Structure 1
Amino acid sequence: MVNHTNTQNLIEEEEKSINVLDLTKYLFLHWKWFLLSVLFFGGLYYYQYSKTPFVYSKSAVLMIKTPQNSNATARFTRSSMANTVSVATEILQLRSKELMRQSIDAIQADVSYYKTVGLRNVELYNDAPIKVLFSNINPESSRSFTIIPKDASSVELHTLDEGHEQKKSIIPLNKLVKTTIGEVTILPTNNYRKNEIGQEIHVSKIPRESMVSYFLSNIKISQIEEDASLLRFTLEDYSPKRATDLITTLVDLYNLQTIDEKNRIAVSTENFIRERLSLIEGDLGAVEKDLERMKVANQGMDVNQATGMYISESRQYLSAGRDLETQLGLAEMMRDYIQNAEGLIPTNMGLVDLNIDQYVNDYNSALLRKNRLLEGNNENNPIVREIDQYLALNKSNIERAVNNAISGLKVRIQNSQKDMNTALKGATSMPAKQRQVLGVERNQRVKEELYILFLNKREENALNQALADDNLRVVDPASGSDAPIAPNKIRKLAIGVGIGLAIPTAVLLLILFLNTSVRDRKDIEKALSAPFLGEIPYSKRNKKDVHVVVREQATDPVTETFRILRTNIDFMSTGRSKQVITLTSLSEGVGKTFCAINLAASLSFLKKRVILLDLDLRKGTLSEKINATKPKGISHYLSDSSVSIEDIIYENEISGSVDVIPIGVIAPNPVELLLSERLETLIQQLKNTYDYIVIDNVPIGVVADASIINRISELTIFVVRAGKMDRRQLPEIENIYKQKQLNNMAVVLNGIRKGSAGYGYGYGYGYGYGYGYGKKK
């Protein structure tokens, strides 16, 4: 069981590998389509590559200055508004549209100069031999024209008028000239040389906002390290020099704006501090005069010190009175508890009188002793009664001691209250003077602190203004390879070739998978259990010999396949007579007659006597193909008993050795004729004379003739046409085989086209070459 499972798995794996290999072969057979597709798309993408302008990349490394990494800012603290540096904020500011507008205006990046080299436009930028200055032009306007240097002092200007007609004019250099595109001045540059004479320079004034969007879309700013204040600034452009200049200009303008902003803040801060200092100086002088006047009026006495002394004493008396009140409360609580308590009395309650604690301890000890005695005796025990007397006496002593303590505490509280009132009277004797002094001194301290604060801020602001620094420092200036980063020739061609290979592959596979027709032997063997005799490739017949394509000494694929077919027929004939071979099909047009003719010819090459019989009484396709327009045929024989066999047999009609019985004329009643007993008589006589009788039958799926003829058939070859029959019809053929509607049915696959099917087992005739028989080509 295990070996069978392993064998089955190996077979499935082999089938999978065969499927992949067959798919590859199927695609390879259509190599012409792949070649055409690759040439088309490869050429298309090469054309796009040749036409696309080169793109260059330049990068710079910038450091964001902070108090930690800047020498100037490390020594002094910035103002609160500029002290915090955010990397995200710096990146957003560098990508601002206004900053980009100023940078574009500074280097005139909205004016493009380019030449056409081959199919590609090459951006010149500062390498252009001329420079165009527009006068009073809207930054959002658009212009496009061509300049051709004529000589050292003039150029030729080509423009389009309102009617889109080209207009030429000669423009002198270094002069403001009014043209159809506005007032312009054309200046020669250092690149204005003799070799530029006659060369077309295309100039485009692009709307500034379009250039802003273009450059911002090509800018990449990223933080190099997560915890580092370093930025990588990358710009892609058609001109490497313009990219470098734009990066440098943008960073310089950003730093200038930063310094201007800091200076404006510093000037505003200085003016504010100066105004506040002037006001505070006046207020501080008035407060000091008031304090001086009060000290003179009080004869130099320190009112604050005297008041503080009285207040300190009153606070001490107040604290002592609170402690006494606490003791009084505890004593009263002790008294109430003792009056109602029958058990143990709590000790260490914090009372000042130590005698109370002694009485309580004695009381508790006696009560515990009494409780122990009661466990083994009754209350009438003399010792228990003695202890009860002692407890009553001791409890009375405790109550008296507690009452005495309460009385003493109340007296002490009264005395403490009197002392506190005396101290408060001394403290309140000068309340008005004290309030005045405290108010003046408080006002003086506030003014002094504000004055000192603003003096410090003034100096700090002056230092920050003197040391105003930009926010960015260029660590690595804009640089990069002068080789373009795009378009990439290899990548473009690879994409073109890839698409050229992918599209035919997708189309061919789609055609293959959507094709429901029978394609090869594998489709037959999967759906049918009938014996498979062979597969016949598609054959292109010539005009001289339209019906026979096999040759006795040939080794071509068609001849080889019919040799295989006749060999397989011999295998099926082992032990049983298979002289009468009938060819039928499910529908017409599958090559049934072609197979019958060539099978008969191939059998005759074995020196066998073979006769072809056309029993398609409705159409006579076999008779028509071999051009057997004879006066008498099978229809005459079946309908007229006076017609003999010799009258309808025509010898050596095919390949010089195959006899033929044509239909004669198309019969109006083919079913009645085929049911005639003369048909069996005819076949029996032919079997005595011929080795093989090949009958071209009608399709079984069209009329009932095939079922009638089946009674004389010894071997039925069911012809299936590749590419014509739908695979969904194969179950119908399987039912015909299982129900034994046809005698000894076997299947032949006809019309295998090389390069159209090619999926599955292949044609199966290639191994016939070189076996030794026949001539070698």
Structure 2
Amino acid sequence: MNQTNTSTASGKEQGLNLVDMLVFFLSKWKWFLLSVLLFGSLAWLKYARSSLVYFRQATVIIKDPSSKPYTAGGLNRYDNFVNKVNVANELLQFRSKKLMREVVSRVHADISYQIQDGLRRNELFTRSPIAVRFIDATPERSVAFTIIPKNEKEVLLSPLTGNDTDKVLTVAMNDTVAIGDLHIVVTPTHFYKGAWLGKSILVQKRPLDAVTAYYQAALGIRQEESEASILTLSLKDNSPVRAEDVLNMLITVYNEEAIRDKNQVAVNTAEFINERLIIIGQELGDVETDLESFKRDNKMVDIATSANMFISESQKYNTDALELETQLQLARYIKDYLTDARKETDLIPANTGISDMNIESQISQYNAIKLKRDKLINESSDSNPVVEELNNALHAMKQSIIRTVDNMIVGINMKRNDAQSREKLAQSRVASIPTKERQMLSIERQQKIKESLYMFLLNRREENALSQAMVDNNARVIDSADGSDAPISPKRNRILLLGVLLGLAVPGVACLLILFLDTRVHSRKDMEGCISIPFLGEIPEDKEQTKRKVVQEKLPMTVSELDDDVVSEAFRILRTNMDFMSRKDHPTQVITFTSLNEGAGKTFISRNLAMSLVRAKKRVILLDLDIRKGTLSRLFKLKKTGMTNFLADNSIRVDDVIQRGEQFDIIASGTVAPNPAELLMDERLDELVNELRSRYDYIIADSVPVGIIADATITNRIADLTVFVARAGKLDRRQLPDIEQLYQEKKLKNMAIVLNGADFRHRYGYRYYGYYGNYNYGANKKKK
């Protein structure tokens, strides 16, 4: 059985080729046309409803942080290496949700203004005649409504969400109106003109995060070259103006964030300086208040002329003591700096204001040698002999500087003590100056110290503000957002072409499924390679005759009715092929028709074959051996007396059951018998056939399907030729092995096969009868 199925499949594979498939597709041109029209219409509808999409792009260059104007020439290359820009990080920063959320919020991209244009809606954005301000709407609030300009001062508002969807409000311009729990203000723009009156504008407030996610997905960033820091930002949007605004604002927000990051140290420094200024300002105010209170309480007046000299001397020593005190503080600061282990490798501050030029010279020399040593270390290593020698020299110089500073501190202390002692001596001489005068001098000294610190911090604050203002943008715009005014989507031709291709593909796939899943026999080609039974011919399906219902409604066709149609020619071929199967010693006289299933067309073929034989001037009689149903008898409306009566009653003669016709004779099936199989086994059937052999040239027996009941096998003993009728479109190819088995086992005598109802015009490209007009078939009918 598996072998048979394999042969069937191989027969199908060999029988179907590309030309057959193309012709089959052409036969279904109406379905292809209908599908193309349907999908083409859907494609056009898709194009007409799709929103227009515009493309905008901008080009920026990411500045290299190493490109600073104030960089030491010797250290420039190391700075370039450390501070080289990372374009990948900047690209990811452009894509960040934080930046895009800020951009959407600034340009109000979450508020949409749309107007109906045909089947699609077009985005107005900033070109809308009205602007809506949402007063108390949260960023994640979603609301939609339509606004129809009524006149110069009023608009009609119809909510699309909430419980008041059927309510129409008349809203005055610049007035606050409530939509549910939301308050909005409608204001006109400079586009508000008379042309907009009566037109419906759809206003939508979408969630900020949803719009941010949309623009994040729509944003495209491309690095022009792998080694370059030039980025091309692109965006697709329904509004070209909005796309430009979003791109330009994205660059602006990015630069603001970059400047904010760069100024973070300066901001912290400014905060520290401001805090110290507040504290020192309070202390300075307190000192000045104390001085004022002291003078007011002690009612201080000018010292007498006689004490001016002593006071001047005292002030001179006081000034010297202050200067020495300052020098002492600077010297101690230098010593603390030199002895601090954390600053062992740092340069020593120079030009600090120390009066000893020898120390300043040593510090300058030390810093120069240290810079030289650092440069050698960068270019070689710590183990370089020159570096080690410089290290020893630096250590010795540092110790020398420390000793010099110690000596200076000792000298300053001595000078300061001397100045203080001289000050006390001078003050003791001012007998007439109250003791309170010294307290006032102490207060003034504190005032000067606080004032100097305050001025110092003010200068630092200005310097920090200046450096903060000099910070440059991180990205420089090469080409601002721009693009074509023509939309890039939807592509009309592409969508329509896709619809047409889809319209061709759907019926094409359906036809392929029909071809490859259809297991029915439609033509002789489907049977080749599957059976070895002699093939007598194919009877085509005459659709015109079927429409006229000639087969079902008329009695046997006349000779003239068989002259000019395709079916009569097929029966001539069948008649000729039957002659080839006749043997000289035993000519074919009794022809039995059977099939595998009901409705194969046995009665139709037997009747028309009889007409074809009559036309060949043969004596023909039809036997209705289907004694169970009597299809042939019902078709010709024969008398009840027939085959069963003859087989059951020995008194009935042959002439009693023969019914004469205009072209051929017929023996009806007779009365329905309770034992049809037993009657057909009777010898009177053989006697009847033998009698008919002597009277007629051909005896055509219309029998029952084989395999369903035993009648066909029983009556097959009388046959000279058994014609097996296969109905195209009803017989399954999987049943062909069963028919082949009947032939191989010789269950039916001299078996041959006929294919009935073949459709030559629409199956695998066979159009034999389509060319009959070339041989003048049907010409007589036209002449008539």
What TM-score results when the alignment is normalised by the length of structure 2?
Answer: 0.70
Structure 1 position 198, deviation (Å): 0.8
Residues 338 and 398 in structure 2, CA contact (< 8 A), matched pair in contact too: no
Match of 2:756, SS state, is strand
Q: What is the aligned partner in structure 2 of residue 647 from structure 1?
A: 656
Residues 561 and 765 in structure 1, CA contact (< 8 A), matched pair in contact too: no
Q: What is the aligned partner in structure 2 of residue 717 from structure 1?
A: 723
Would you say 1:589 and 2:599 are equivalent positions? yes
CA offsets per residue over residues 33-77 of structure 1, 9 Å max, x none? 333333333323322222221111111122111157788999997
Q: Sort the Cα spacing of 1:529 and 1:289 in 2 relative to 1 into closer, same or farther, 3 A.
A: closer
Q: What is the aligned partner in structure 2 of residue 667 from structure 1?
A: 673
Of residues 715, 730, 733, the one that matches 2:736 is 730
Distance 1:71 1:565 in 2: 106
Q: Sort the Cα spacing of 1:251 and 1:542 in 2 relative to 1 into closer, same or farther, 3 A.
A: same
- Structure 1: gaps spanning 5 or more residues: 1-11, 296-433, 445-456
Distance 2:705 2:328 in 1: 122
Of residues 741, 746, 749, the one that matches 1:743 is 749
Q: Sort the Cα spacing of 1:143 and 1:437 in 2 relative to 1 into closer, same or farther, 3 A.
A: closer
Structure 1 position 201, deviation (Å): 0.9
Residues 584 and 719 in structure 1, CA contact (< 8 A), matched pair in contact too: yes
Q: What is the aligned partner in structure 1 of residue 571 from structure 2?
A: 562
Q: What is the aligned partner in structure 1 of residue 456 from structure 2?
A: none
Paired amino acid for 2:122 = V
Structure 1 position 118, deviation (Å): 1.6
Of residues 497, 511, 524, the one that matches 2:500 is 497
Q: Sort the Cα spacing of 1:772 and 1:154 in 2 relative to 1 into closer, same or farther, 3 A.
A: closer
Residues 625 and 701 in structure 2, CA contact (< 8 A), matched pair in contact too: yes
Of residues 512, 515, 520, the one that matches 1:509 is 512
Distance 1:133 1:535 in 2: 82
Distance 1:543 1:602 in 2: 20
Q: What is the aligned partner in structure 1 of residue 287 from structure 2?
A: none
Q: What is the aligned partner in structure 2 of residue 771 from structure 1?
A: 775
Q: What is the aligned partner in structure 1 of residue 202 from structure 2?
A: 202
Match of 2:263, SS state, is helix
Match of 2:55, SS state, is strand
Structure 1 position 287, deviation (Å): 6.3
Structure 1 position 481, deviation (Å): 1.8
- Compare 504-513 and 471-480 and name the one that shifted more: 504-513
Distance 1:586 1:119 in 2: 60
Distance 2:251 2:487 in 1: 24
CA offsets per residue over residues 183-229 of structure 1, 9 Å max, x none? 32222122111111111111111111111011111111121111111
- Compare 522-531 and 258-267 and name the one that shifted more: 258-267
Distance 1:489 1:126 in 2: 27
Paired amino acid for 2:495 = K
Match of 1:765, SS state, is helix
Structure 1 position 741, deviation (Å): 1.9
| Count of aligned pairs between the two proteins | 606
Q: Sort the Cα spacing of 1:441 and 1:17 in 2 relative to 1 into closer, same or farther, 3 A.
A: farther
Greater gyration radius: 1
Paired amino acid for 1:184 = I
Distance 1:287 1:72 in 2: 31
Within 5 Å, which residues of 2 pair with 1:222-237?
222-237=222-237
Structure 1 position 646, deviation (Å): 2.1
Q: Sort the Cα spacing of 1:285 and 1:682 in 2 relative to 1 into closer, same or farther, 3 A.
A: closer
Would you say 1:40 and 2:22 are equivalent positions? no
Q: What is the aligned partner in structure 1 of residue 255 from structure 2?
A: 255
Distance 2:202 2:615 in 1: 81
Paired amino acid for 1:486 = S
Would you say 1:622 and 2:628 are equivalent positions? no
Q: What is the aligned partner in structure 1 of residue 688 from structure 2?
A: 682
Q: Sort the Cα spacing of 1:161 and 1:21 in 2 relative to 1 into closer, same or farther, 3 A.
A: closer
Distance 2:645 2:12 in 1: 57
What TM-score results when the alignment is normalised by the length of structure 1?
Answer: 0.70
Q: What is the aligned partner in structure 1 of residue 240 from structure 2?
A: 240
Would you say 1:149 and 2:155 are equivalent positions? no
Within 5 Å, which residues of 2 pair with 1:317-716?
437=399, 440=402, 465=468, 467-539=470-542, 540=546, 542-543=548-549, 545-546=551-552, 552-573=561-582, 575=584, 577-628=587-638, 630-652=639-661, 656-716=662-722
Q: What is the aligned partner in structure 2 of residue 342 from structure 1?
A: none
Residues 521 and 761 in structure 1, CA contact (< 8 A), matched pair in contact too: no
CA offsets per residue over residues 318-350 of structure 1, 9 Å max, x none? xxxxxxxxxxxxxxxxxxxxxxxxxxxxxxxxx
Q: Sort the Cα spacing of 1:178 and 1:263 in 2 relative to 1 into closer, same or farther, 3 A.
A: same
Q: What is the aligned partner in structure 1 of residue 83 from structure 2?
A: 83
Residues 625 and 643 in structure 2, CA contact (< 8 A), matched pair in contact too: yes
CA offsets per residue over residues 443-479 of structure 1, 9 Å max, x none? 99xxxxxxxxxxxx99999996564211111222212
Residues 615 and 696 in structure 1, CA contact (< 8 A), matched pair in contact too: yes
Distance 1:590 1:69 in 2: 95
Structure 1 position 614, deviation (Å): 0.8
Q: Sort the Cα spacing of 1:153 and 1:766 in 2 relative to 1 into closer, same or farther, 3 A.
A: closer
Residues 516 and 728 in structure 1, CA contact (< 8 A), matched pair in contact too: yes
Distance 2:604 2:334 in 1: 132
Distance 1:61 1:543 in 2: 79
Structure 1 position 668, deviation (Å): 2.7
Residues 565 and 777 in structure 2, CA contact (< 8 A), matched pair in contact too: no
Q: Sort the Cα spacing of 1:287 and 1:26 in 2 relative to 1 into closer, same or farther, 3 A.
A: closer
Q: Sort the Cα spacing of 1:73 and 1:188 in 2 relative to 1 into closer, same or farther, 3 A.
A: farther
Residues 110 and 205 in structure 2, CA contact (< 8 A), matched pair in contact too: yes
Paired amino acid for 1:571 = F
Match of 1:32, SS state, is helix
Q: Sort the Cα spacing of 1:283 and 1:16 in 2 relative to 1 into closer, same or farther, 3 A.
A: farther
Distance 2:769 2:18 in 1: 22
Residues 287 and 440 in structure 1, CA contact (< 8 A), matched pair in contact too: no
Within 5 Å, which residues of 2 pair with 1:39-118?
39-66=37-64, 83-118=83-118
Q: Sort the Cα spacing of 1:271 and 1:193 in 2 relative to 1 into closer, same or farther, 3 A.
A: closer
Residues 67 and 74 in structure 1, CA contact (< 8 A), matched pair in contact too: no
Structure 1 position 288, deviation (Å): 10
Match of 1:166, SS state, is coil
Structure 1 position 97, deviation (Å): 1.4
Paired amino acid for 2:566 = P
Paired amino acid for 2:205 = K
Paired amino acid for 1:703 = I
Structure 1 position 523, deviation (Å): 2.5
Paired amino acid for 2:101 = R
Match of 1:527, SS state, is coil
Distance 2:72 2:495 in 1: 53
Match of 2:747, SS state, is coil
- Compare 26-35 and 150-159 and name the one that shifted more: 26-35
- Structure 2: gaps spanning 5 or more residues: 1-9, 277-326, 340-355, 357-395, 407-459
Residues 681 and 714 in structure 2, CA contact (< 8 A), matched pair in contact too: yes
Within 5 Å, which residues of 2 pair with 1:122-133?
122-133=122-133
Distance 1:225 1:100 in 2: 25
Match of 1:668, SS state, is coil
Residues 560 and 768 in structure 1, CA contact (< 8 A), matched pair in contact too: no
Q: Sort the Cα spacing of 1:574 and 1:202 in 2 relative to 1 into closer, same or farther, 3 A.
A: same
Residues 585 and 718 in structure 1, CA contact (< 8 A), matched pair in contact too: yes
- Compare 584-593 and 22-31 and name the one that shifted more: 22-31
Residues 42 and 500 in structure 1, CA contact (< 8 A), matched pair in contact too: yes
Q: Sort the Cα spacing of 1:765 and 1:96 in 2 relative to 1 into closer, same or farther, 3 A.
A: same
CA offsets per residue over residues 78-108 of structure 1, 9 Å max, x none? 9899933111111111111121122112211
Q: Sort the Cα spacing of 1:495 and 1:161 in 2 relative to 1 into closer, same or farther, 3 A.
A: closer
Distance 2:232 2:523 in 1: 63
Paired amino acid for 2:198 = G
Would you say 1:166 and 2:175 are equivalent positions? no
